[in-house]
Structure formats: C-alpha cells, structure tokens
Amino acid sequence: MAAKKSKDKDTVEYPRVIPDEHDWPIYKISSRREQLIEEVIAETMEHYTQQGGEGERNFTRIADAYYQERVRMKDNPWKVDRRDEPAFWRRIKLALQRSAEGGTVDEKAVEKILHQVVDRYTNEIAGDFRIRTYRFARWATNFGFTRLFNAIRLRPFRRKKGEKRMKLTEKMQLTGYTEEIRALSKKGVVILVPTHFSNLDSIVIGWAIEALGLPAFTYGAGINLFGHPILSYFMARLGAFRLDRRKKNEIYLTNLKLYTEIVLRKGGHMLFFPGGTRSRSGSIETKLKLGLLGTAIEAQRKLILEDPENYRRIYVVPLVMSYNTTLEATALINQFLKKEGKERYILVKDDFRSTRKTIKYIFNFLRSRSSMVFSFGKPMDLFGNEVNGEGISLDKQGRVIDLADYYQSNGEIVRDSQRSYAYTRLLGERILASYYRENIVFSSHLVAFTAFQFLLQTQQKDLYGLLTVAEEDLVMPYDDFAASVERLHLRLREMELQGKVRLGEDMRHSIPNIVRHGIEYLGTYHLKKPLTFDKAGNVITEDLRVLYFYHNRLNGYDLEKYL
C-alpha cells in the first residue's frame, strides 16, 4: 500500500504497514515477555559456557560485578533503584564466599550464582509493549498536539488571512526514502539511527515512526527516566528497554548485548542514537558510539546460521532531523565550550531545563510557521551495501550479495569478534557519511553559518578570541553579509546537485528572502536572538555563543573556503 496525497497539498499520509497492533513484531515479542526473558537468560549462560565457563572465571566475573555494584550503590544511588538491591548483592556475596570455602571454587555453585545475577539483570532490562498504552500515547501526542496547536493558531489576533487549521503532519515533514523503509520494515528488521540534538528528539521520532505508518520501534531508555511516575508508566509499556549507564560490569554489558541481539533476531525494529548523547556543539555527529551496531552484526551472523537459505536481514536507516531551534542550545553550547576551551573560556551561568521553558518551546514551535523535517536516509545493510525493493543486498555491479560471505573464513561462517568490531567501525563511517548527505539545510542554518564565519574573518580572531568580543561591537553591514550568504548558497546548490547535501524549501527563494527568512526563523525560542537586524538594517547578534551553536550545524562541508 503506497502513500497517498491527502487533500492538503504537500502532505502525504501513510497508511499503516501492518494495520493491527497485535501483528506488530514488538507486540509479538513482548506479549511473551516471560519467554523472551527465559531465552535471554539461557543464551547468556550459554555464552559464558562457550567463553570458557570454568568456575574460576565466573567467580571473578561475579566478584567484579559485586564490587562495582557496591561502589555504585554507595556513591551513586538513584531514586529508581530497587529497594532490595543491597540485600540481593549481600546474598550474592555470601553465596560467593561459600562457593570457595574449601579452597577451590565449586563450579556448580558459582554457575548458580551467576544465573541469579543474569536473571536479575535480564528482568531489569527487558521492555514491554501494551497496545492500550500505545494507543493512548498516540492519541495524546498526535491528536493532543494538534488540538493544542490549532487552539494557539486560531486565536483571532494571530490568524492571518486565508489560514486554515493545520495538521501536525504539515509541521513535521517526512522526506527521503520513506517508501523504501516502509517496504523493508515488512521484509526484515529496521534499525533507525537518528542524529541527536535535543531531548525532544525521542518524542518526535516516536511520532515520526507512527506517522510513517511503521509499527512501534523498541529503544533503550536511560533507567533514570523510569523514576518519573508518568513517564515510567508510558516508557515501560511502549517497548522501551532499560539502560543503566552506571553499570559497566561485564555481566551487565553482556546481558544488555544479548537482550538487544535476541530482540533483533526476533524481528523487533529498533531505534538507537549512535551519537550517544545530544550533540553539545550543535554540529552533526563526527564520532559514533558503536555498541548496539556491533550487536546487530552478531545478530545477523546468527540469523544466517539459523536459516542459511532464507535468513532475515537487518537494515540500517540513518535519519537526520532539521529544525530552526534547539531548546537546549544555550546549555549545550556552554557545556561544549567549557569542555573544549578549558581555561580560555569563562563560563557564563545559564538557566535551562525547566518545565515552563519546555512548554514555552513547544508552544513557540507550534505557533510559528517553522517546521521540522525528518530526512530518512537510504537504507543499507550492515555492510553499507544498497538493498533492492525485495530487501536483498546488491553490490556495485548489481549482483546479489550473500551476506554469509562477510562472515566466512576458509569457507566457514565463524565468530570473530575483532572482525565484527572492524565491520562495526566501517558501518559507523557509512552512517556518518549518510548524515552529511541527508542533512537538510534551512535558510536559518545558512545565515547562522555565514554570520559566524563572517565575524571570524572580519575580526581576524580565532574562536575563543571572538567569543570574548562584546556582541555590541559585532555589526555586519547588510550588503556584505548578503553577498557572503549568496556565495555560500551558490556552493550549497552545487553540492546539492552532486548529492552531497539537501536543501530545504526555504532555500529556493531569492537571496534577500533567504536572509530575511533565515534570520527570522533562527532560534525563534531564545530570548536573546542569535541574529537580528538593527535599526539601520545591519545584521547583528545578541548571543554569540548560541549563534556559534547553530553555525556548527554546517561544519564538515568545508564551506568556510567559499566565503
């Protein structure tokens, strides 16, 4: 079923790929949650046996975990931690001591203790998916947002002539390889890997997945988020599994890896921010955390072993989100400068992270005409190859690739973790390259980049030198500024033709319009405008650091050479 254009032009509505939630992979996996947990535990234990599960090694593993957990409970306790934790680990410690009483380690006893730890971790990690909760959340975000949005828009003094009720789909556009992704979601497993700029990303991506007609994706959510009663209720039932960044012991990490691996093998689509955390500098990710991608490489290997003739395939879909404003821009860029600049940069205190501000941001976003664009990149297999409509990997000559060939040594499919790691790195590079290609440049990004580079060059200072200049002293004559914008615009058009970047609709206008529009839309939320006009019509900035943050979005394209 292909997407159809609705009555409003430019809005595409996507019917659900799988109409009934009961048929969704995520539901099928979580409706048998107990069984899933059993499987994860069994495979994890099996993993240790294969790794050399002698009593001694397991003893050390548990002892390490115990030690690290004790430090964590003492130094870094969180509200969400279960109350019985100290008691549990005390029991583990005692059992461990007993197991080694005779001077030698009792292998059977140690294995039993390991099983207890694995059991506990697996139960902690495992996610759930409830259809009723999903429906409610969908109603609340989609319908609720739309109501709210139209309520704001329809205030008489705000309404402009000819304006009509708008749908959320018009605010948030889905572009790129949407049809391909919909088709692939039925053929195999999709791992969506988005860029990460704002805390709101996870919420809006959930919406985007729904709007694209895809079944819900599972994702790892920080365990701290489960401390919030309402959030926790939703997260726990929307297919999120729990991640605890504090736990770094081998048993926990292995458990986490095998949990995600098994969910992938069972066909659960997954969402994963490969950048790890939000981009502090405002630039597109330059380095990725590869953890979950490595899991996928191993999951694919096992899928091939299970059914060499007709194995399920895993696809990776990069996603870049473009918008004019990032809620936390001020805080993020301050954290970045503090870390990078060391003593050269004096931190200016800034407030952020209040509920009021979040609501104000959402209000502002909905009220303004600015939109959010989701640019879905070309789907690829785990080795960066293109896939055809049937989901089959093709090489550069269009020949069908048997993925088993990537895992072969001397004609046999073997496990080689160093090789998997090297593959994962290469996949990371492909994802990054895709981010740069699929990035949609708005006029606001262009003016921010131009302005900051313009200032660097005219002031003849380096970054930290420039940041110490008072904003009042930084005035950009309109004509010079517009000329610079024009040069970079030309270069971006050229790059678009070469397929190196994509341009937003607002970049199709005349240069004066691009400048005006870009400045108006850039960082609409911030009290101090990153860019604005003074009375004489010159371009000025009220907040250089935030301007720098938005400037960074176009880092990595070597645009500064064309100014």
Partner 1 sequence: MISKNTSENPVGVVGAGSFGTVIANLLAVNQPVILYARREAVREAIVKEKVHRGQQMHPRVAVTGDLAELAERCTLIWPVVPSKNFRAMMRDLSPHLRPYHVLIHCTKGLDVLLTDREKERFHDIKLNPNRVRTMSQVIAEESVVLRVGCMSGPNLAKEIARGLPAGTVIASHFNEVINLGRQALRSDRFMVFENHDLIGVELGGVLKNILALGSGMVSGMGMGENARALMITRGWRELMRIAGWFGSDKNAFMGLAGIGDMIATCSSPLSRNYTVGRRLAEGETLAHIIETMEEVAEGVNTVRTAMAVVRFMEKRAPMVEAFYSVLFEDVPLEEAIHKLLVHRHGPDVDFM
> Which parts of this chain interact with partner 1 (CB under 8 A)?
383, 385, 395-397, 399, 401-403, 405-406, 408-411, 416, 418-419, 422-423, 425-426, 558, 561
Taking the complex as a whole, how short is the minimal distance between the CB of residue 315 and partner 1, in angstroms? 17
318/428 with CB nearer partner 1: 428
103/398 with CB nearer partner 1: 398
Q: Which residues make Cβ contacts (< 8 Å) with residue 194, sequence separation at least 6? A: 201, 205, 271, 273, 318, 319, 320, 321
The three-point CA angle 436-439-441 to 5° equals: 125
197/557 with CB nearer partner 1: 557
Report yes or no: 521 and 324 within 8 Å, Cβ to Cβ.
Answer: yes
3-state secondary structure of 506: helix
Residue of 450, 376, 467 lying closest to 177 (CA atoms): 376
Taking the complex as a whole, how short is the minimal distance between the CB of residue 413 and partner 1, in angstroms? 10
Taking the complex as a whole, how short is the minimal distance between the CB of residue 403 and partner 1, in angstroms? 8
* DSSP line for 453-479: HHHHHHHT--HHHHHTS-GGG-EE-HH
With 0-12 / 13-18 / 19 or more C-beta atoms within 10 angstroms meaning exposed / middle / buried, residue 493 is middle
Taking the complex as a whole, how short is the minimal distance between the CB of residue 303 and partner 1, in angstroms? 16
* DSSP line for 411-424: TEE---HHHHHHHH
Taking the complex as a whole, how short is the minimal distance between the CB of residue 419 and partner 1, in angstroms? 6
Residue of 247, 253, 257, 293 lying closest to 273 (CA atoms): 293
334/434 with CB nearer partner 1: 434
Taking the complex as a whole, how short is the minimal distance between the CB of residue 422 and partner 1, in angstroms? 4
Taking the complex as a whole, how short is the minimal distance between the CB of residue 499 and partner 1, in angstroms? 14
22/425 with CB nearer partner 1: 425
How many CB atoms sit inside 10 A of residue 422's CB? 12
Helices (H), 154-237: 168-171, 178-187, 201-211, 229-237
End-to-end CA distance of the chain: 46
326/393 with CB nearer partner 1: 393
88/436 with CB nearer partner 1: 436
346/414 with CB nearer partner 1: 414
355/410 with CB nearer partner 1: 410
Q: Which residues make Cβ contacts (< 8 Å) with residue 540, sequence separation at least 6? A: 471, 474, 475, 476, 531, 532, 533, 534
84/402 with CB nearer partner 1: 402
Instruction: Report the distance separating Cα 68 and Cα 150, nearest Å.
Output: 52
Cross-strand pairs, 419: none
- Cα-Cα-Cα-Cα dihedral of 85, 87, 91, 94, to 10°? 110
The three-point CA angle 236-237-243 to 5° equals: 30
Report yes or no: 298 and 436 within 8 Å, Cβ to Cβ.
Answer: no
173/393 with CB nearer partner 1: 393
Taking the complex as a whole, how short is the minimal distance between the CB of residue 484 and partner 1, in angstroms? 18
The three-point CA angle 24-29-31 to 5° equals: 90
Taking the complex as a whole, how short is the minimal distance between the CB of residue 290 and partner 1, in angstroms? 13
Taking the complex as a whole, how short is the minimal distance between the CB of residue 392 and partner 1, in angstroms? 13
Taking the complex as a whole, how short is the minimal distance between the CB of residue 352 and partner 1, in angstroms? 34
With DSSP H G I counted as helix, E B as strand and the rest as coil, what are the percentages for the chain, rounded to 5? 55, 10, 35
